[in-house]
Amino acid sequence: MRFETLAVHAGGEPDPATAALAPPIHLSTTFEHGPASEKLGGHIYVRSSNPTQDRLEQALAALHGAAAALHFASGVAAASAVFQSLPPGSHSLIPRDVYYQVRVLASDYLPRWGQSATAVDMTDLAAVRAALRPETRLVWVETPSNPLLDVTDIAAVAGLARERGALTVVDDTFATPALQNPLELGADVAMHATTKGLGGHSDVQGGALVFRQAGERLEAARHAREILGAVASPFNSWLVLRGLRTLAVRVERQSRSALRVARALTAHAAVAAVHYPGLESHPGHAVAARQMRGGFGGLLSVRVRGGREAALRVAGALRLFVNATSLGGTESLVEHRRSAEGAASTAPDDLLRLSIGLEHEQDLIDDLAQALALA
């Protein structure tokens, strides 16, 4: 079954009780059980499992051809569960350009858990190989990366990790499974902030881990979720499940528009650089073309000539693009990442991140042109 069809139908079987096509939302926090806690209906308590979450997890696993999936309260909660499931003494590799909260997690919390991490340029396979240690247990990949849109060769990095017995987790938030399936490329786990493209409407928070195989890794992450309580509400699980139904068409449109916007920006005198893997000039274009399908996503970043103040003038002058955090929604957003991330940011001062929505691409190009005239 092709992805577009699967996204519409996965986890969407009619409700057995009513034959309703829209999945029901089970809001109950507790479920009747037997005197010895026998699961009469398959559930005990919402922190462990609930029927709405089950549907979403089945759908996420199906979209990746995976064994199982876990849904969390946020993308950061999902990421944290991976690190929390590692034993003390573990070493991890993270990308040099990585979502800033993963960087802060590595610097501020891994030492408290008896772990360590090294940031490395994941686009450089020799650097990845050199950074691996005997105690490396995890290689964390983010591709395309946030906010520089670096592209990592998932298959090659996963192969290096496998040689050392390390787990490979790929943050697939920017691409979504509509464009890229890390598990098919050798990764062990795909991670998503379901808040973003999977939810798709800027109205839900969540995160997911999708496992190529069932087993110890899956159960360790499930245990961390249950004991530490990073559980999504049933309503949020339902909203993400709803978002999956339109994922393929949204991503297709956003990818097409983003490529047109990126090409227009490369020709503008006020633009110093455009980071978008769909551009033939992008250093990771060939790898992205090989491991992504049907487009390159709706995210790009632009470097504005004139530095921070010029970038802020452009962001403030935009009319259609909204200055807001997040990505993957129906509306187009702009963000000065260094300001948003704060002290831990490694984003360039002149960089604006653009999330392309579902507006007409020429209207977006025109909006950027009038704002860049003020740079």
Catalytic residue annotation? 47, 99, 171, 196
- CA proximity to 295, closest of 211, 197, 206, 363: 197
> For the packed helices 247-266 and 361-372, what is the interaxial angle rounded to 10 degrees?
40
Q: Please give the Cα distance from 131 to 344 (Å, whole number).
A: 22
CB-hemisphere CA count at 13 Å for 23?
Answer: 29
8 A C-beta contact, residue 317 and residue 371: yes
Amino acid at 79: A
Chain CA centroid to CA 352, Å: 19
Tokens representing 76?
């950061």
Amino acid at 351: L
Max Cα-Cα span within the chain? 73
Residue with tokens 């110890």: 216
Q: Please give the Cα distance from 189 to 10 (Å, whole number).
A: 19
What pairs with residue 191 in β-bridges?
A: 171, 209
- CA proximity to 240, closest of 85, 25, 20, 3: 25
Strand locations in the chain (E): 68-72, 91-95, 116-120, 136-142, 167-171, 189-192, 207-211, 271-275, 299-304, 322-323, 333-336, 351-355
Q: Is 133 exposed, middle or buried (0-12, 13-18, 19+ CB in 10 A)?
A: middle
- CA proximity to 301, closest of 344, 272, 330, 268: 272
Q: Please give the Cα distance from 80 to 248 (Å, whole number).
A: 28
The three-class DSSP label of residue 360 is: coil
- CA proximity to 216, closest of 75, 82, 90, 112: 82
First to last CA, the chain: 48
